[in-house]
Structures are given as structure tokens and as C-alpha cells.
Amino acid sequence: MTTYIIRRLLLVPILLLGVTFLIFGMMQLLSPVERTALYLKDFPKNDKAIEGLIKRYGFDQPVYVQYWNWLMGVKNPNTGEREGGILHGDFGYSRSSSMPVGDLIKRRFPNTVDLALWAMLPMISIGIWLGVQAAVHQNSWIDQGLRIFSIVGTSFPTFVFGLLVLMVFYAKLQWLPPGRLSGWASAVVDSPQWRTYINILTIDSLLNGRFDIFWDALRHMLLPVLTLSYINWAGFLRVTRSSMLETLRQDYVVTARAKGLAERDVVFGHARPNALLPVITMAGFSIVGLLGGVVITESVFSYPGIGSAAARAAVSLDIVTMLGFAIFNGLILIVANLIVDIVYAFIDPRVRLS
């Protein structure tokens, strides 16, 4: 098991290097002047000053030198020390948000994590439960109803469902508002008395003893969580049902039934654990999608996460912000894939020997 984990860990830097090669290659489609403009808040109009900046940032150097400077930063002519570089968290300046891209990620990512934490549990647990019920009651009215539910969920556009629940629960009933917090709650969070522990609002509100802030934050997240869960339930239902049906036909399940085990023990003790392998892969990439920012959902509900910031950058043609988000999402994807591989090995020992 240790050897398997070490092999997977050794692949991480190689994959990260591949991601940086890809992003840097995309940047080479821009001219040196355009690339210089991407990383400056105030771009000069004078040609001589522009040429000086191109030389300072090394955009007139060979490609391998440019790549090294992009990773590690450029040398300051006065101190000789390197400044910037994506390995130091300098992804450039976001014109769409009027702040450095690194600061934008630090500000928005905790909100996306907060939303992902509340969406993951109902999304995965209920989706798996529905799939198991559909497989166990194959071809019954329960199975038929859940299959119709799955088809509707798969074909329902996310923004349509989001607008629908927003119209019902906010516009008509005035129960669940969009956004992140109410005005009074934002004033409390921004006050000097508020203590930030881990920068995740629902957890920080509990640690501050402010259950009213916790409920207000949760109330604003209920509709995005419902939207994300419903759209993903359909996928988890279909994958779990298919895997369960295949597992229930295996010889060891037939043998367990022949020994007189209760049907519940057969289904939940023998069949379900082995049927969850493909579901784990789907869950891993679903979580990556949540942490990478759910663009449509966050935009529909005016939720200030990574996804809505990416949507604003795309509309504004803010290339450097989009590239920064691409690197960040690539890192999340690689880490999530590593975790999925390790979980796979714990569940199925055959994976360790492959």
C-alpha cells in the first residue's frame, strides 16, 4: 500500500509540470507587449517604457528563460532577488476584479469551499441512496419513477432549474434570498469584533457563537445547494443503479443469498461496497467541479465564489485571471485525482497490485 501511494505521489510534480507547460504554451500565442500588459496594473503609453518593461520581464529572451521567469519570477535589477512568479502566488493583476489574481483566489475560494461542503453530503449520499433503491426494486414502480427523475434531471439545464427555484422560493415566497449574506450580517462579519478562524463563514460563525449569522449564511446557500444536488443526483442515480445491478448478479452475492442471509445484509453488506468503485470516481470529479467553482450556479444566485469571478473575467476578456484560474483548477484536479486513487486502493486491494 505504501509503495502504491509513493508511486502516485511521484506523479504529482510531473502532472503539475505538464499543466504549467500547457498554460505557458497558451500564453505564447500573445505578443510580448500583450503579455507585459497582462501583468501590470498601469500600462505605460510610451514605446520606450514598454520596451524597457519587455526587457525587464524577459519577454525578449528564449522560451525556456521566459518559462523559468514565469515560474520563479524575474530578478529585481536593484536587489538581485526574484520577484513574482506563479510558484510564489503571483498570477498577475485581475482587471475585472481590480486586485491581484492571487488575492482574488484567496478571497473567493473559501466561499466556494463553504458551498461545496454543504453541497457534497446531500449530493453524494442521496444520489447513491436513490441508485441503490432503483437497483434493488428493479422494474418496479419505484425504479420506473426514479429513472424518469434521472432523465429529467439529466436534461434539465442548470440555469433553468436555478432560475425556477429562485422564482419560487425568493420572488414568490420571499424565503431564501440569493447572495452570500444579508446586509445586517455582512456588517457584523466586517466589524472589528468578528474573529476569522479558518475563513469559512458557516464554521467561523459557529466558532464566534453567532448562530444567527450561521443561519443567515445557510439560508443563502440552500438554493445553490438544492440546484447542485438535484442536477448531480441524476448522474449518481444512473451510475449507482447500473453498478448495483451488475454487482447483484455476481456469484458471491448469489452465494450470500443461498446461505440464508437477510436481503438487507446482502445488499448493504456485500453488494453496495463493491458497487461504489465507479461512484467514487464520479464523486471525486464532482467535488473537483464544486471546488473549481460552479460558474452557472454561482452566477445565477449572485454567490461570490470562484465560479462567479471566473464568469466575470471571461465576459471582460480578462485573460490573465482566466489563466490563473486554469492553473488553480489544474492543481485541484491533480490533488483530487490523487485522493481518489488512494481511496480506490483502500476499497479494492486489487488496485494496489496493478
How many CA atoms within 13 Å lie on the side-chain side of 113? 13
pLDDT at 148: 86
Instruction: Evaluate if residue 57 carries a pLDDT over 80.
Output: no
Q: Bridge partners of 75?
A: 82
What value, to the nearest 5°, has the Cα angle with vertex 240 and ends 239 and 246? Answer: 95
Residues 6+ apart with CB under 8 A from 36: 43, 50, 53, 54, 57, 59
CB 300 within 8 A of CB 166: yes
| DSSP SS3 for 31 | coil
Torsion sign across C-alpha atoms 219, 225, 226, 227: positive
Give the tens place of pLDDT for each residue, 287-346: 877 887 788 888 888 888 888 888 888 888 888 888 888 888 888 888 887 887 777 777
Class assignment of domain 99-353? Answer: mainly alpha
Q: What does pTM read for this prediction?
A: 0.81
Domain limits, CATH 1.10.3720.10, in the chain: 99-353
| DSSP SS3 for 195 | coil
Give the tens place of pLDDT for each residue, 167-223: 888 888 888 888 888 888 888 888 888 888 888 889 989 988 889 899 999 999 999
C-alpha separations of 254 from 107, 133, 261, 271 in Å: 54, 19, 10, 10
